[in-house]
Structure 1
Amino acid sequence: MVRFVGSDATGLPLKRKQVAQACARCRRRKKRCFHNCDDRSNGLSPSSIETARLPSGDGEVASQALTDHPTPAPPPQFEALPEPTASPTREEHAARFVGDLSPEAILMEATSLCSTRDVSVRGGLGIWQPRAAPQLAKSNSALTTFPSRHAVQDMLKAYVWSHCLACCPPPSDYAVLRRIYVEKLDPIFPILGGHILDSPKDDIEEKVLQQIVSLAAAPDPEATRHLRLKSEGALLSRHNFCTSLSNSIQTIVDAGLFTDRIFLTRALAALSLYMQPSSPDEADVPALLSGRAIHQMHTLGLQMASEDNYTNSQATRTLFCCIWALDRINGAFYGRACLIHERDVGWNLNECIAAQAPPFRLFLMVIELLDKVIGLYRPGNRQEKDIIIELPIFEQMILDAGAARVSSGCLASLEIFYHSVAILSSQSPSENRSTALPAPATNSRRSLAADRITSIVGQEYPGQLSYFPIIPYGVSLSLSVSYRKMRHSNVPMYRSRGKQAFIANTSLLKSLDDTFWTAKTMVAMAEQVLQEMDKAVASITQETGLADASKRVEPVTRGPDELPLSGTGDAILDDPNRSIGDFSVLEAVPDLNIFDHFDPTFDLGAVDTALEGNLDFGTSSNWFDWQQLWG
């Protein structure tokens, strides 16, 4: 017979009369050591250790010997589900951060020599407790303690394995989507870290990684011919493609199949940015996912600085910067309170930003400006006089970030984000926000920034941008600026100019409404405003005897070198069946306000509140209410 002799944690064989040796640290401190007795503390006897060393062919016998009670069988109506393979990366064995305010920290530091004290620049605020792989697996299955929850989770896992993990583009289409993501999106927002280059060894994480990449790259015009979820399946619309992927990723996350909390944090943050709600019930899901990502970040203590010699120090800083930026973006998009505050962060934020790659560094520099702008709109900060935040020149920001060699498409996308922040960087007292003549600095900055956004998206770089949600957000702000000019100007020439800009921005949003829900909501509202304006112009010309401007205007012909407004066509300007009135016929009556001649049943006040609220963080989180109102 062959007898297998067990060994301790240091690799020495276990003998019947052998005395256990203390580790080097305990020998120096002359303390009793328990670190070489991990097997005893886990309730494993030497015989069970020997059994665990059986050949791989006896895996079932070994697994039964390692437990004191038999493993419960799965429900009869479901087959046994394969367990995800563990990834041996350092990120999987992430430590749990416990602050000094918790009594657990005192006991943990006194009893566990494996714990590590925080050595951040603020003097240390807690300790890190290492997580072993088995303990991490148990923590993810804590919700299955009760039999009812266990059965429900088994049902959810069965659905995940049969439906959600299979929802993925075929390899040929995924290769194109992955290239789009790597070239246009990952340099600006590297939320997936090194996983995009080195796929996770866990099968579930690898599938979710492919789904996230496909979801992020879907809005790009180049991806239109690759939106499939089956090898021989038909092409899907962007809306259906993104909705299927978003639902699959959310179900996998809710099933609790991830064993790597760092990857779970990345997945939640990426899904928060790239998913698009499909119904009013999902309006707050992106903000909710962002809050869950921040919760995981705080649980792991990623906001606390680590030692410079830590293996994943740079990856941790990059991940923290991504979540911090996402928190500010959600504050602007959805009118939410920021959940990460500088006073609670152990990192030096300026040093973290300076350590990033040039495209991401430039993106974070714009986020810093947005963080200052958000301060204008916090409760109680409304001032009695006009306030405008000074912004650096974007060209100088590019040079300071070392991003001069970044592709023009990425720089143009970040410039759109910069001009969006510029539109929001000025604030007027509430009683002056709807006057005909706004503050000079406010008017000029907003008008120039809005014109630049429209020009970049529609004429300079159509189809070449990095299609983040910041693109439709910027165009929506430009639409609001043109609406305010059209709504409150007393000069017909400026009203006509505002209407042309309003039509151009509506056309741009129309080309994006199949992907971004904000664009779809704004387009529905803007089109109804244009229809009411055309009716009002026709009614005025008929009553006053002016030239009939309600007849259809001939389509605008472009020169051979003139680019269209958007990469997918001008959905409004090139529609031959659309009637577009001309304000020039009303110049004979400069005091005439066309909005006073709207149909009384048309809720103009709701339009004013929605469109002008974009410039004041007022109704960003209520866009779905407007979608329900305007179809």
Structure 2
Amino acid sequence: MMDKQDKDSLINIYFERINPLLSIVDEADRNEATRKSKSVMYAMCLVASRDAAAQPYLRFTESPELLSARSFASRTYKWLRWALSIGWEEDKVSLIRTLALMSLYSEGSDGAEDASMNLAQAIQHGQTIGLHLGRSSGYGGSQTRLFWSLWCLSNFNAALNGRPRLIFDLDIGLKLEEAYDLCGPAMKVLLTITQLLSRVINLYQPTAALDVLGIEEDFESFEAILSRCNAWNIDTNIMTSLEIYYHGIAIISHRARSTSQPSTPTPSSLRQELSALHITTILHHVSPQSFVPLPLVSYSISLAMSSFYSQLRRARSPIKRAASREHLENCVQALEQLAEWSQPAKNMARMGRKALRQTAQVAAISTSPELRRAPRNGSGVGDNIAQWRPVYTPNYESNQLAGAQRNSIPTPQTQPDGGLSGFDIAYDDLMDMDAVFGDFLNMNLPDFGLPLQ
């Protein structure tokens, strides 16, 4: 149980910060929803607890001590799972709302699986009452907004958790254009960006053409989206969170290749680099604590971090390497702040820290004449630390071949600039980082998104 003042404060945060984007619970239905459904009320508190402003209210009546955001969310989520397991919630719409909000929570090794299952159940119940066809009665525009919130979550889930989409456009009896008349400006922007995400996901489907490397045209700018949705006056922090989400989608609008394989620049690859830079620019001016506490924010920052790691591994220019390291560091610091409420952000921050340490070690090795000349067939330093590999190995993207390369001994060659590219040092742990960050940018892989878990 929660004190009424704490509960009301968290619900206020929910409607100020979350509901303008995902109108899962209409503010007009607020009093009725909280009075009618205890599970919806606690699900709203679960999502709101991740916001920095929620910290003074994270406690239960049995203990006056304040809890951390993750501890409070964990206890609330466990109660919600128990309540639903005993059939506490009988109203279908309230059940859909509860499950949809629970799908935004992901902690532990089974976090992605649980989030996907919660969303799948919410969508299943929505289809049962004809939510996707507009057949439900008695709720007016609130159910239309609820359906399109589920549609957004279906696309989020495909990207964040590496699952197939649960709602297909051909199965929808509603028109997205008509939903714009029923949504506020922030949700209009979210819907528009999610349309871009849906196009991007098409690039990574099993049947997608392998020679198509990205979306090379008709990728609307964020400013154009704001103008079209008449959204220039929305809350600044909500706008900034939407901008980070937009640039995260822009990063994966170019399909990833090997972290060290050079390629001819294309509009999508240039967009990828520019969007990663936009994210670090935002992080330089805005505290991560002010972002909307939704997983799409930490996900987008993680994508930027992966992009900078890739740039660092490919860079030949010392300035480009230094800049990539600096941007990578900025992303790691932001994720470390978000780690206070997000286990996925904490995991990616740790991965980023490890990458920074290991790239520094490899760079030191590559510029050390003593280590570069170390013998390979004895117990010398080079035998335990590094081995040479040519970076332009055919089909380097294959994980199997990458594993085989660890056991091979290519002929040493000179490195003209002492960097991390050209003829690189295949530091074993760094190759693990290559796999993690390369895979994280590649939705072709079935475990895409799992580095976040």
Q: TM-score, normalised on structure 1?
A: 0.60
Distance 1:218 1:172, change over 3 A: same
Quote the offset at 1:293 in angstroms. Answer: 0.7
State the partner residue of 1:479.
305
Matches of 1:276 and 1:533, distance apart in 2: 30
What does residue range 309-320 of structure 1 map to in structure 2 within 5 Å?
311-320=138-147
Quote the offset at 1:314 in angstroms. Answer: 1.1
Matches of 1:540 and 1:433, distance apart in 2: 18
Matches of 1:195 and 1:419, distance apart in 2: 32
State the partner residue of 2:356.
530
Distance 1:544 1:268, change over 3 A: same
Alpha carbons 1:485, 1:498 under 8 Å: kept? yes
What does residue range 89-104 of structure 1 map to in structure 2 within 5 Å?
none
The yes-or-no answer on 1:405 pairing with 2:233 is: yes
Quote the offset at 1:624 in angstroms. Answer: 5.0
Distance 1:498 1:349, change over 3 A: same
State the partner residue of 1:553.
none
1:419-460 residue CA offsets vs partner (Å, 9 max, x unmatched): 1111112236x5x77423452423321121111112223423
Distance 1:598 1:219, change over 3 A: farther
Alpha carbons 1:306, 1:313 under 8 Å: kept? no
The yes-or-no answer on 1:285 pairing with 2:114 is: yes
Quote the offset at 1:368 in angstroms. Answer: 1.0
State the partner residue of 2:161.
334
Quote the offset at 1:209 in angstroms. Answer: 2.8
Quote the offset at 1:354 in angstroms. Answer: 3.4
1:90-141 residue CA offsets vs partner (Å, 9 max, x unmatched): xxxxxxxxxxxxxxxxxxxxxxxxxxxxxxxxxxxxxxxxxxxxxxxxxxxx
Aligned length: 409
The yes-or-no answer on 1:212 pairing with 2:43 is: yes
DSSP 3-state at the match of 1:616:
coil
The yes-or-no answer on 1:226 pairing with 2:53 is: no
Quote the offset at 1:540 in angstroms. Answer: 4.9
The yes-or-no answer on 1:419 pairing with 2:247 is: yes
Alpha carbons 1:187, 1:359 under 8 Å: kept? yes
State the partner residue of 2:400.
none
Q: TM-score, normalised on structure 2?
A: 0.82
Letter in 2 for 1:510: E
Alpha carbons 1:334, 1:620 under 8 Å: kept? no
Distance 1:313 1:196, change over 3 A: closer
Q: Which of 99, 102, 106 does residue 276 from structure 1 map onto?
A: 106
State the partner residue of 1:190.
23
Alpha carbons 1:243, 1:276 under 8 Å: kept? no
Distance 1:536 1:615, change over 3 A: closer
The yes-or-no answer on 1:266 pairing with 2:86 is: no
Distance 1:593 1:498, change over 3 A: same
1:286-319 residue CA offsets vs partner (Å, 9 max, x unmatched): 0111111111011111111349xx5423122111
The yes-or-no answer on 1:181 pairing with 2:14 is: yes
State the partner residue of 1:383.
210
Q: Identity rate of aligned residues, in percent?
A: 24
Q: Which of 298, 315, 325 does residue 152 from structure 2 map onto?
A: 325
Distance 1:545 1:252, change over 3 A: closer
Q: Which of 292, 297, 309 does residue 126 from structure 2 map onto?
A: 297
Distance 1:229 1:332, change over 3 A: same
State the partner residue of 2:267.
441
Letter in 2 for 1:609: A
Matches of 2:234 and 2:452, distance apart in 1: 38
Letter in 1 for 2:220: P
State the partner residue of 1:35.
none
What does residue range 522-601 of structure 1 map to in structure 2 within 5 Å?
522-540=348-366, 543=369, 590-593=417-420, 596-597=424-425, 599-600=427-428
Letter in 1 for 2:60: L
Distance 1:293 1:519, change over 3 A: same
Structure ranking higher in helix proportion: 2
DSSP 3-state at the match of 1:329:
helix
Letter in 1 for 2:294: F
Quote the offset at 1:182 in angstroms. Answer: 1.6
1:35-75 residue CA offsets vs partner (Å, 9 max, x unmatched): xxxxxxxxxxxxxxxxxxxxxxxxxxxxxxxxxxxxxxxxx
Matches of 2:79 and 2:283, distance apart in 1: 31
Distance 1:397 1:625, change over 3 A: closer
State the partner residue of 1:250.
81
1:331-350 residue CA offsets vs partner (Å, 9 max, x unmatched): 11112111211222221222
State the partner residue of 1:362.
189
Alpha carbons 1:478, 1:505 under 8 Å: kept? yes
Q: Which of 8, 14, 32 does residue 199 from structure 1 map onto?
A: 32
State the partner residue of 1:609.
435
Alpha carbons 2:335, 2:348 under 8 Å: kept? yes
Alpha carbons 1:437, 1:489 under 8 Å: kept? no
Distance 1:197 1:530, change over 3 A: same
State the partner residue of 2:178.
351
Matches of 1:598 and 1:225, distance apart in 2: 49
Q: Please list every run of 5 or more consecutive structure 1 residues that lacks an aligned counterpart in the other structure.
A: 1-165, 547-587
- With a CA cutoff of 8 Å and minimum separation of 6, indicate the structure with the bigger relative contact order: 2
Quote the offset at 1:246 in angstroms. Answer: 1.1
Distance 1:531 1:372, change over 3 A: same
Distance 1:217 1:619, change over 3 A: farther
Distance 1:415 1:171, change over 3 A: same
Quote the offset at 1:380 in angstroms. Answer: 1.8
Letter in 2 for 1:416: I
DSSP 3-state at the match of 2:131:
coil
> Which stretches of structure 1, 4 residues or more, deviate above 6 A after TM superposition?
none
Matches of 1:313 and 1:452, distance apart in 2: 39
Letter in 2 for 1:341: F
Letter in 1 for 2:185: P
> More displaced, 356-365 or 216-225?
216-225
Matches of 2:130 and 2:201, distance apart in 1: 25
Quote the offset at 1:396 in angstroms. Answer: 2.0
DSSP 3-state at the match of 2:441:
helix
